[in-house]
Each structure stands twice: as C-alpha cells, then as structure tokens.
Structure 1
Amino acid sequence: MEKVLILSHTQGYSDFKIGSHHYANGLSKIGCDVFYSGIPRTIFHKLLRKKNSSPYKLNETVSNIQLSAIFPLTMPMGFFTSVVNPFIFSFFEANRMVKGMRYRAVICDSPFFYPLLKNIKFENLYYRPTDNYVAMVGEKAIAYEKRMCGESKMVICTSQAVSDNIVRSYGVCRSRVKTITNGYDSEHFFKINDSDENRKNAIYIGALDYRFDFDALMVLAEGNKGIIFDIYGPVERRYKAEILKFRDVGNVFFHGKINYSVTNELMNKYKVGLLLLKKTNSNFGRSPMKLWEYLASGLNVLYANIDNVELSEMLFRYDTHADMISKFKLANEVTSEIKKDILENNSWRGKVIELSNLIF
C-alpha cells in the first residue's frame, strides 16, 4: 500500500471542503495509505486558546495527523521559519509520527511547508499550487515557492494561469508543470428533481472576502427587485461594513456560514448560482470547483474571472456590470441540461484518477 502525505494550507476541520480534502479521500478510496496535515498549529493558537469548531472533512480511512510548530510558517523566510521550526520539529508527538514514516509521495498545496520538508522522508515531492500566492500574500511567498518548485518532481497546478505564472516566475521547465483543475464532489452535488419549474431566485455560497465583488451584487440586486439574493458563507471582519450597505436594499440576505451537508439540497431550490469575482490577480486562474458544483445541482451560473471552463448553455460569463445585467436576465430564462460525460470528467473521481496516473 503506497503511503501518501498531503500537506495543505487548510486543516482537516474546515468550513469548506477543498481540493486537498478531496484528493486525500479519493486516494484513500483507491487503496493508498493517506496521511493529512493542515498548516501547523503554533504556540500562538494555544496562547489565544483558538479552537477549531468547523466540520471535519476527511474520511475515516484518512489519518489526520495535525503538525505543530512554534512560529507561524507564513512568516517571511528567516531564522525562525528556516532554523527554529525545523529544529524543534520532533518536540511534538504528531510531528514525530510523520517523521517516523517514509512516503512514496508528498503532495503539498502551500509553499510555506518548505522548511519542514527536511524532517520528512519521501521518494517524490509534488507541489500543487492552487493560487498565485505572491498576488495573495505578497513577496514573502517567493523565497518559499522558488525552493518548493526547485525540489518538486512535478508542479501540478489547478489552472493554466497558475501554471503559466510558475513557469514565468521561477523558470521551471514546462515539461515539469502540469494542470489539473479542481473538480466537484459528484457524490454530493446532483439534481434532486428533473423538473426545473419551481426553481427561482439566486444564491451564492462561499467566502465573502477581498475576492468577492460586492459592487456587482449591489448592481444586480437594485436592478432586479423581484428576485431574492441569498448569500451564504463566512464574512471576514473587515468586510462587514460592505454588508451593512445592503441593509435597506430589501432583496439581499446574508445567512452566514452553512454546513456542507445541506448545500446540495439548498442549491436545488434556486435558478441562478452566482460567482461574482473581482478582476484581481488573486482571482486570475481561480479554480472552477464551485462552478461545477452549481452546474451539477442544476443551476445556471453567472460568473466572471474564471478561465479554462468548457462551454455550456448553462454558463453565463460577463465582463462589465452592464454585460452582467443582460447575462443575468438570460440566466433566469434559459432551461437546459449539461451533458453527463462533461460532469463526470470534472468530478473529483476523474481528477483523482488523473492525479494518481501522474504520481504512481
């Protein structure tokens, strides 16, 4: 049984089920012995008594071994991240468990794990960047990402935009860079009823942060007073002022975070799924996973700034707010079906097979 270690920017307990969760679960289903860790918890989490109350996203066949560190891995590379954290790695019991095994493959979606890799025995390293991290967190990511790319057997990106950025920024040979876009959970997202006649209104499920276009939502809501806009997802504190602007609009409702287990049933009640993403570097190359979840649940999708998406009569991409208004009107009128083979090719089952063919 092949041992695989997945190191992720997101822990096993999370409000969202991300790609690394799906790969961990999927690889375990095809017979791999999978171990998983999110970004290490630090002494600061303990001092602040931060506890994770989010739902658990891993199957029982996946071993969740949460690593620990003294200092946050996401600090700029220096003495504390490159020397202190690796030196005291073995002080923590879970870390010793990880160190005591040898892995056929380590799959890492965050460059900030790089200094800790010297404590882990493995045959091959696969870096799986999900975003343009320099655009997201600043130039401190460069030192980590450059080294991570240099030591990886292959860099497996989640979009062509991320792949192009890796090649351009670090001079990685194109033959060592592959693109596997994120999929969707076909066991969880599907149409409950064949009839679409009772579907109405619009829904968004996802984070409400710097990548979400609140201005676009305001334009849509004010131009479509007869349609309800239900918005689900955690809100970053600094964006709560944006939400207050909708207080008197009357047809926009923010519901906070939602349990993953009820998302499909909820989405099956709506006509249009919203992906109102700003035109920013951090959205360039954004994963289409949510788009496929919407489509599988029978929603027409209004979206912006997502590339490498197959054409479908259920997809409505816009460029400007004026364009968005006309596309939203069409999305509320069109009734269509997406081909099952297209959905299957973009499911996590298909993506797990594609990844395993690359690494084994």
Structure 2
Amino acid sequence: MGSHHLSRELARQGHLVVHVSTPLSPLRFTGSTGSSNLTRRWREHSMGPWQVEENLVDIVPFTVVPVQGNGFLPRPVVERAVFPGLRTTLSALDMDDPDFLVIDEPLFAGLEDVLTPRRVVYRPTDQYEGRFHGAAQARLVRRADGVVATSEQVLRALPARARQVPHLTLPNGVDLAHVVRPASGAARIAGAVYVGAMDDRFDAAWLAEVASLAPEVPFALYGPRPPGRDWPANVTLHGPLPYDDLPDVLARYRVGLMPFRDVVQNHGRSPMKMYEYLACGLFVVSTGAVRQVSAEGAPGVWDVPDAAAAARRISELATSAQLNQEGADVAQGKGWVGIADRLAAFLQSL
C-alpha cells in the first residue's frame, strides 16, 4: 500500500498493512530542496521496517538506480536495485504473498512480479505524462485486477483496459482528527494562506499578480521555496511546514489558496487540499485548474483564474466576519475513515 492515510485507516479496521514509500535514491540528495524531509526519510529507511501502530508497518526502501526507468526494464528496479530487497524484507514480515497489492505510484511497476499477491489494484492519483510514467502505468493497467482512480478525469486518461476491469472513482479525503482542532479563541489574520509544494504545477505568476493587486492582504506561503522570483512585500515565504503544525497554521487565516497552473498534471488532481482548508473553516480561492474543485461545488469555494477578480474576491473574504461554516460541514463527510471503508468493500469484491 502506498497511501499513508489509507494504510492507517485500513490497519485500524483490523487489516494487516505494510506501507511502502517511494524509494530514496542518490539523486534525491542533490540540492537542498526539502532537505529536512529527506533527512527524516533517511532516518526511517535506516530503521528498517518499523511498527507505526498496531497492524501497520512502514518501509522506506533505498535504490542506487532511480526508479524512473521502471516501465522499460525487463527486470524492474524494484526487484534488482532496492536495498534491502523488498521480497526479502516482506518475506520476513510474512507479507510477500498479500491478499491485495495496492500500487499508488506507477514507478513501482514490477512490484506485482516481485511478490505473489492474490489481487493487484492500481490506484492512480494523477494524470501522468512522459514516456517513463506512461510505460510504467501501461504495465500496471495490463496486470491490474482492479483500478481505483482519485477522479473521473484520471480514470478517463488511463488505457482502455482500466475501464474494462472492476473500477472505482474514490477521491482523496481529509484527516479530520488531525486537521480540526478545538477553537483557541485567537483572532484570525485577515489574510490568505497556501501550504504545499511549489513545483512546476504551482502558478507563482498568478499568485504574485494577485498579491500585488491586493496589497492590504497578507499572503503566507508554506513549502519549499520556488527559485528565481521576486514577490510583493505582502507575501511571506515561511519554508516547509511540518504536518503536525498544519492545523495551527490554517486556523490563523480566513482564505485558503489553490494556485495551480492550468496543465494536465493538475486537471485530475483530487482536491484534498481544498477539504483541509474547508475543515478549518477557510474560504477557498482557486485558479480553476483542478477540475474536481468545480465538480464538487462545495460552499465557500471560488474558481477565479483572472488575477484581478481573484484579488477582489480574496480582499472581500479576508475581511469577512464569518468563517466558512457551511464548507466545514461538507468537509466533515470527506474523512479518510469513510474512504477507507469504501476501498475495503471494493477490494473484498474482487
């Protein structure tokens, strides 16, 4: 299983679950971006399989060869170049012949041949481009006994066989127990916040323009800093945010931002970030790139691709005396517990 959240909830249902992270490789350690996260993951790798909680074991493999070539290799990287070997590690846990192998990352293609699972389920969470991802994904779809996509857009983008085998659309959810905290009574900042990656899917140009057109609104960005951009004076870059600190940060603001570029990698994304914002009572302003945001029709959420219009909307919402209680109520129905229940029922049906 590759999802932290689903692994945890399935384990709490009484299933024995091994969560296998995407392997670390030497290339991950070039540069300084996300260095604290890499240090943590290296420490977890060094621990070997470790018991996270009852019924749940976590493994962080290491490979000397980047997994990007997996789809083309006759003997996949996950079999030949991961240390310690996954089959050996999982055999020691008596998990080399699991009832279900759920693969969330296409570059893990080949793990289905390393192990002897009763059923293989492919769970794509994005629309993937490029020959490496494409070849690996095609390999998984050919082998899969079932497919669980996080959006209809992702499902439609898969090879035709994905819709010929048993399949399910199951969006990501929100960790309600973690994100929602009792009100502290502290006043919220009349500002906007973004928490997440600032990679090539992040629309820095849109956000910089929006901020410049709303100079009275403070904008707080949490995540690895994007290189080579000058930001308006009302934008503060705080760097990566530990997950444990997420609830306290979101509770300080009134508007959550989803500043994503209009590219295919974003179109099929599941709006987990939207539900994190909503669960904390924030209003949400998005560029409209994540199609599922519009499809959900959640209260207090606006798709505003035009920067000037977005700046006006954020200025209005940031000074609102009300929280987005209707949105928070909707988010209560999007927790991982219910999503895990649906996934477990689907797996049992195969």
Report the TM-score, using the length of structure 1 for normalisation. Answer: 0.82
Equivalent residue number for residue 72 of structure 1: 66
CA contact (8 A) 1:111 1:141 kept: yes
SS at match of 2:98: strand
- What is the letter of the counterpart of residue 66 of structure 1? V
SS at match of 1:204: strand
CA contact (8 A) 1:65 1:98 kept: no
1:247-266 mapped onto 2 (5 Å cutoff): 249-266=232-249
CA contact (8 A) 2:62 2:84 kept: yes
* 2:327 maps to 1:332: no
CA contact (8 A) 2:105 2:124 kept: yes
* 2:347 maps to 1:359: yes
* 2:279 maps to 1:296: yes
CA contact (8 A) 1:39 1:67 kept: yes
Equivalent residue number for residue 52 of structure 1: 38
Equivalent residue number for residue 350 of structure 1: 338
* 2:168 maps to 1:172: no
Q: Deviations over 1:290-340 (max 9, x none)?
A: 110011111111112222343233212113223323332343355331266
Q: CA deviation at 1:175?
A: 5.6
CA distance in 2, matches of 1:209, 1:24: 26
CA distance in 2, matches of 1:44, 1:282: 22
- What is the letter of the counterpart of residue 132 of structure 2? K
Equivalent residue number for residue 16 of structure 1: none
Equivalent residue number for residue 216 of structure 2: 226
CA contact (8 A) 1:316 1:331 kept: no
* 2:101 maps to 1:106: yes
Equivalent residue number for residue 25 of structure 1: 8
Number of residue-to-residue matches in the alignment: 328
Match of 2:290 among 306, 310, 332: 306
CA distance in 2, matches of 1:84, 1:129: 19
Cα distance change, pair 90–204 in 1 and its aligned pair in 2 (3 A): closer
Cα distance change, pair 292–332 in 1 and its aligned pair in 2 (3 A): same
- Structure 1 alignment gaps of length 5 or more: 1-5, 9-19
* 2:117 maps to 1:122: yes
Cα distance change, pair 299–86 in 1 and its aligned pair in 2 (3 A): closer
CA contact (8 A) 1:192 1:268 kept: no
1:170-319 mapped onto 2 (5 Å cutoff): 170-174=160-164, 176-190=166-180, 192-193=182-183, 198-235=188-225, 239-242=226-229, 245-246=230-231, 249-304=232-287, 305-309=289-293, 310-319=296-305
- What is the letter of the counterpart of residue 67 of structure 1? P
CA distance in 1, matches of 2:346, 2:279: 27
CA distance in 1, matches of 2:29, 2:193: 37
Cα distance change, pair 71–200 in 1 and its aligned pair in 2 (3 A): same
Cα distance change, pair 185–83 in 1 and its aligned pair in 2 (3 A): same
SS at match of 1:187: helix
Q: Deviations over 1:28-49 (max 9, x none)?
A: 110011112112345777999x
Q: Deviations over 1:229-268 (max 9, x none)?
A: 1110113xxx3102xx11xx21111010011111101111
Report the TM-score, using the length of structure 2 for normalisation. Answer: 0.84
